[in-house]
Amino acid sequence: MAIFDQEHRPPEPDEFDTGYAVVRAALGGVPLLGSAAQELLQRIIAPPLARRQQEWAESIGAAVRQLEEQKGVTPEQLRDNPAFVDAVLAATQAAIRTSQEEKRVALLNATVNSALPGAPEIAEQQMFISLVDRFTEWHLRLLKLIQNPKGNEKVRDGYRPAISGSLSQLIEVAFPELVGRRDLYDQVWADLAAAGMHRSGSLQTMMSADGPLQKRTTEIGDRFLRFIESPF
Protein backbone atom coordinates (compact mmCIF):
# COMPACT_ATOMS: atom_id res chain seq x y z
CA MET A 1 0.00 0.00 0.00
CA ALA A 2 1.88 3.00 -1.27
CA ILE A 3 0.50 5.67 1.02
CA PHE A 4 3.90 7.31 1.39
CA ASP A 5 6.80 7.67 -0.99
CA GLN A 6 9.15 4.72 -1.08
CA GLU A 7 11.93 6.80 0.42
CA HIS A 8 10.00 7.00 3.69
CA ARG A 9 10.56 3.45 4.87
CA PRO A 10 9.72 2.12 8.32
CA PRO A 11 12.43 2.30 10.97
CA GLU A 12 14.81 -0.65 11.25
CA PRO A 13 13.83 -3.34 13.78
CA ASP A 14 16.46 -2.18 16.28
CA GLU A 15 15.11 1.39 16.31
CA PHE A 16 12.11 2.67 18.25
CA ASP A 17 9.37 1.07 16.19
CA THR A 18 6.10 2.80 16.98
CA GLY A 19 4.28 1.34 14.00
CA TYR A 20 4.78 -2.33 14.66
CA ALA A 21 4.71 -2.07 18.44
CA VAL A 22 1.41 -0.24 18.58
CA VAL A 23 -0.25 -2.36 15.88
CA ARG A 24 0.72 -5.51 17.78
CA ALA A 25 -0.68 -4.02 20.98
CA ALA A 26 -3.92 -2.98 19.28
CA LEU A 27 -4.45 -6.44 17.85
CA GLY A 28 -3.42 -8.35 20.93
CA GLY A 29 -6.88 -8.57 22.45
CA VAL A 30 -8.54 -10.74 19.79
CA PRO A 31 -10.53 -13.45 21.63
CA LEU A 32 -9.80 -17.12 21.12
CA LEU A 33 -12.10 -18.97 18.75
CA GLY A 34 -13.31 -22.55 18.56
CA SER A 35 -11.36 -25.03 16.45
CA ALA A 36 -13.75 -24.86 13.48
CA ALA A 37 -13.71 -21.08 13.48
CA GLN A 38 -9.94 -21.06 13.83
CA GLU A 39 -9.58 -23.33 10.79
CA LEU A 40 -11.90 -21.09 8.75
CA LEU A 41 -9.97 -18.03 9.88
CA GLN A 42 -6.66 -19.63 8.98
CA ARG A 43 -7.72 -20.71 5.49
CA ILE A 44 -9.82 -17.75 4.34
CA ILE A 45 -9.41 -14.69 6.55
CA ALA A 46 -5.88 -14.96 7.91
CA PRO A 47 -3.92 -14.30 4.67
CA PRO A 48 -5.64 -11.02 3.71
CA LEU A 49 -5.80 -9.99 7.36
CA ALA A 50 -2.05 -10.53 7.70
CA ARG A 51 -1.45 -8.42 4.59
CA ARG A 52 -3.57 -5.61 5.97
CA GLN A 53 -1.75 -5.74 9.29
CA GLN A 54 1.63 -5.68 7.57
CA GLU A 55 0.70 -2.82 5.24
CA TRP A 56 -0.78 -0.77 8.07
CA ALA A 57 2.20 -1.36 10.34
CA GLU A 58 4.56 -0.29 7.56
CA SER A 59 2.46 2.83 6.95
CA ILE A 60 2.57 3.76 10.65
CA GLY A 61 6.32 3.16 10.70
CA ALA A 62 6.77 5.38 7.65
CA ALA A 63 4.56 8.04 9.24
CA VAL A 64 6.75 8.06 12.35
CA ARG A 65 9.82 8.59 10.21
CA GLN A 66 8.12 11.31 8.18
CA LEU A 67 6.95 13.11 11.32
CA GLU A 68 10.51 13.20 12.57
CA GLU A 69 12.04 14.27 9.25
CA GLN A 70 9.50 16.88 8.21
CA LYS A 71 7.88 18.05 11.45
CA GLY A 72 10.62 17.49 14.03
CA VAL A 73 8.47 15.17 16.15
CA THR A 74 10.65 12.46 17.65
CA PRO A 75 9.61 8.87 18.41
CA GLU A 76 10.17 9.60 22.10
CA GLN A 77 7.71 12.50 21.92
CA LEU A 78 5.17 10.26 20.20
CA ARG A 79 5.62 7.62 22.88
CA ASP A 80 4.79 10.18 25.56
CA ASN A 81 1.86 11.70 23.64
CA PRO A 82 -1.40 10.06 24.84
CA ALA A 83 -3.42 11.60 22.01
CA PHE A 84 -1.17 9.98 19.41
CA VAL A 85 -1.19 6.60 21.16
CA ASP A 86 -5.00 6.74 21.48
CA ALA A 87 -5.31 7.66 17.80
CA VAL A 88 -3.05 4.84 16.63
CA LEU A 89 -4.90 2.27 18.72
CA ALA A 90 -8.32 3.41 17.45
CA ALA A 91 -7.21 3.85 13.85
CA THR A 92 -5.48 0.46 13.77
CA GLN A 93 -8.65 -1.42 14.62
CA ALA A 94 -10.59 0.57 12.00
CA ALA A 95 -7.91 0.15 9.33
CA ILE A 96 -7.76 -3.62 9.75
CA ARG A 97 -11.54 -3.80 9.25
CA THR A 98 -11.59 -2.12 5.83
CA SER A 99 -10.20 -2.72 2.36
CA GLN A 100 -11.23 0.77 1.19
CA GLU A 101 -8.05 2.67 0.41
CA GLU A 102 -9.49 6.14 0.93
CA LYS A 103 -10.60 5.19 4.42
CA ARG A 104 -7.19 3.76 5.27
CA VAL A 105 -5.48 6.91 4.02
CA ALA A 106 -7.91 9.04 6.08
CA LEU A 107 -7.18 6.96 9.18
CA LEU A 108 -3.44 7.29 8.65
CA ASN A 109 -3.70 11.05 8.16
CA ALA A 110 -5.78 11.32 11.33
CA THR A 111 -3.11 9.42 13.24
CA VAL A 112 -0.38 11.75 11.99
CA ASN A 113 -2.42 14.89 12.66
CA SER A 114 -3.13 13.78 16.23
CA ALA A 115 0.57 14.30 17.00
CA LEU A 116 0.78 17.83 15.61
CA PRO A 117 0.02 21.25 17.11
CA GLY A 118 -3.53 22.41 16.51
CA ALA A 119 -5.01 18.91 16.60
CA PRO A 120 -8.55 18.59 17.94
CA GLU A 121 -8.96 17.63 21.57
CA ILE A 122 -8.73 13.91 22.27
CA ALA A 123 -12.50 13.43 22.55
CA GLU A 124 -13.09 14.99 19.14
CA GLN A 125 -10.20 13.03 17.63
CA GLN A 126 -11.75 9.78 18.82
CA MET A 127 -15.15 10.85 17.48
CA PHE A 128 -13.66 11.66 14.08
CA ILE A 129 -11.79 8.35 13.86
CA SER A 130 -15.00 6.55 14.80
CA LEU A 131 -16.80 8.38 11.99
CA VAL A 132 -14.18 7.33 9.44
CA ASP A 133 -14.66 3.76 10.66
CA ARG A 134 -18.44 4.03 10.25
CA PHE A 135 -18.48 5.98 7.01
CA THR A 136 -17.81 4.59 3.53
CA GLU A 137 -15.61 6.10 0.85
CA TRP A 138 -18.74 7.69 -0.58
CA HIS A 139 -19.31 9.60 2.65
CA LEU A 140 -15.78 11.01 2.47
CA ARG A 141 -16.04 11.84 -1.24
CA LEU A 142 -19.42 13.53 -0.93
CA LEU A 143 -18.32 15.54 2.08
CA LYS A 144 -15.24 16.80 0.25
CA LEU A 145 -17.42 17.70 -2.73
CA ILE A 146 -19.83 19.89 -0.77
CA GLN A 147 -16.99 21.63 1.03
CA ASN A 148 -15.59 22.87 -2.29
CA PRO A 149 -17.78 21.96 -5.28
CA LYS A 150 -15.78 24.17 -7.64
CA GLY A 151 -12.65 22.24 -6.76
CA ASN A 152 -14.03 19.12 -8.41
CA GLU A 153 -12.71 18.84 -11.97
CA LYS A 154 -15.81 17.11 -13.34
CA VAL A 155 -18.03 19.78 -11.81
CA ARG A 156 -15.92 22.55 -13.35
CA ASP A 157 -16.06 20.89 -16.76
CA GLY A 158 -19.56 19.46 -16.79
CA TYR A 159 -21.97 21.25 -14.45
CA ARG A 160 -23.95 23.60 -16.73
CA PRO A 161 -27.51 24.12 -15.42
CA ALA A 162 -29.46 26.55 -17.57
CA ILE A 163 -31.67 28.32 -15.03
CA SER A 164 -31.86 26.22 -11.87
CA GLY A 165 -30.08 23.21 -10.43
CA SER A 166 -30.07 20.77 -7.53
CA LEU A 167 -27.49 19.08 -5.37
CA SER A 168 -28.43 15.71 -6.84
CA GLN A 169 -27.51 17.02 -10.30
CA LEU A 170 -24.21 18.27 -8.92
CA ILE A 171 -23.45 14.88 -7.33
CA GLU A 172 -24.19 12.95 -10.50
CA VAL A 173 -21.96 15.26 -12.52
CA ALA A 174 -19.12 14.91 -10.01
CA PHE A 175 -19.59 11.14 -9.67
CA PRO A 176 -21.08 9.62 -12.85
CA GLU A 177 -21.01 6.17 -11.23
CA LEU A 178 -23.82 7.40 -8.93
CA VAL A 179 -26.20 8.18 -11.80
CA GLY A 180 -29.36 6.23 -11.07
CA ARG A 181 -28.17 5.44 -7.52
CA ARG A 182 -30.27 8.01 -5.70
CA ASP A 183 -31.06 5.43 -3.01
CA LEU A 184 -27.37 5.22 -2.17
CA TYR A 185 -26.40 8.87 -2.14
CA ASP A 186 -29.63 9.92 -0.38
CA GLN A 187 -28.62 7.62 2.49
CA VAL A 188 -25.07 8.94 2.49
CA TRP A 189 -26.45 12.48 2.59
CA ALA A 190 -28.69 11.61 5.53
CA ASP A 191 -25.78 10.00 7.39
CA LEU A 192 -23.64 13.11 6.94
CA ALA A 193 -26.48 15.31 8.19
CA ALA A 194 -26.98 13.09 11.25
CA ALA A 195 -23.26 13.44 12.03
CA GLY A 196 -23.54 17.24 11.83
CA MET A 197 -21.35 17.50 8.73
CA HIS A 198 -23.91 19.66 6.85
CA ARG A 199 -27.28 21.30 7.51
CA SER A 200 -28.71 21.37 3.98
CA GLY A 201 -32.09 19.95 3.06
CA SER A 202 -33.14 17.57 0.31
CA LEU A 203 -30.75 16.86 -2.52
CA GLN A 204 -33.62 17.25 -4.98
CA THR A 205 -34.56 20.81 -3.97
CA MET A 206 -34.24 23.14 -6.95
CA MET A 207 -32.31 26.37 -6.47
CA SER A 208 -30.54 29.00 -8.51
CA ALA A 209 -28.07 27.68 -11.06
CA ASP A 210 -25.05 28.44 -8.89
CA GLY A 211 -26.76 27.41 -5.63
CA PRO A 212 -25.34 23.87 -5.63
CA LEU A 213 -21.84 25.32 -6.06
CA GLN A 214 -21.88 26.96 -2.62
CA LYS A 215 -19.96 25.49 0.33
CA ARG A 216 -22.26 23.45 2.56
CA THR A 217 -20.09 21.83 5.20
CA THR A 218 -20.50 22.92 8.81
CA GLU A 219 -17.65 24.02 11.08
CA ILE A 220 -17.37 20.54 12.54
CA GLY A 221 -17.44 19.10 9.02
CA ASP A 222 -14.51 21.32 8.10
CA ARG A 223 -12.59 20.23 11.21
CA PHE A 224 -13.26 16.60 10.37
CA LEU A 225 -11.95 17.00 6.82
CA ARG A 226 -8.91 18.90 8.05
CA PHE A 227 -8.14 16.10 10.54
CA ILE A 228 -8.18 13.40 7.86
CA GLU A 229 -6.11 15.32 5.30
CA SER A 230 -2.37 14.82 4.98
CA PRO A 231 -0.30 17.48 6.77
CA PHE A 232 2.72 16.83 4.58
* Predicted confidence pLDDT, tens digits, the chain (232 residues): 444 444 444 444 433 354 555 455 544 444 555 677 677 667 777 788 889 999 999 999 999 999 999 999 999 999 999 999 999 999 999 999 999 999 999 999 999 999 999 999 999 999 999 999 999 999 999 999 999 999 999 999 999 988 999 999 999 999 999 999 999 999 999 999 999 999 999 999 999 999 999 999 999 999 999 999 999 9
Number of domains in the chain: 2
| Domain assignment of residue 36, yes or no | yes
User: Do 85 and 39 belong to one domain?
Assistant: yes
d(CA 213, CA 145): 9
Which of 97, 122, 147 terminates a domain? The answer is 122
Residues 142 and 117 in one domain: no
Contact 121, 73 (CB under 8 A): no
Whether residue 50 is found in the same domain as residue 109: yes
Q: Is residue 133 part of a domain?
A: no
The model's pTM: 0.83
Q: Residue 32 sits in which domain range? A: 18-122
Tell me if residue 151 falls in helix, strand or coil: helix
**Residue 197 phi, psi (nearest 5):** -80, -25
For residue 6, tell me if it sits in a domain: no
Q: Is residue 212 part of a domain?
A: yes
Whether residue 119 contacts residue 113, with contact meaning beta carbons closer than 8 Å, is answered with: yes
Residues 97 and 187 in one domain: no
Residues 116, 162 share a domain? no
CB 63 within 8 A of CB 116: no
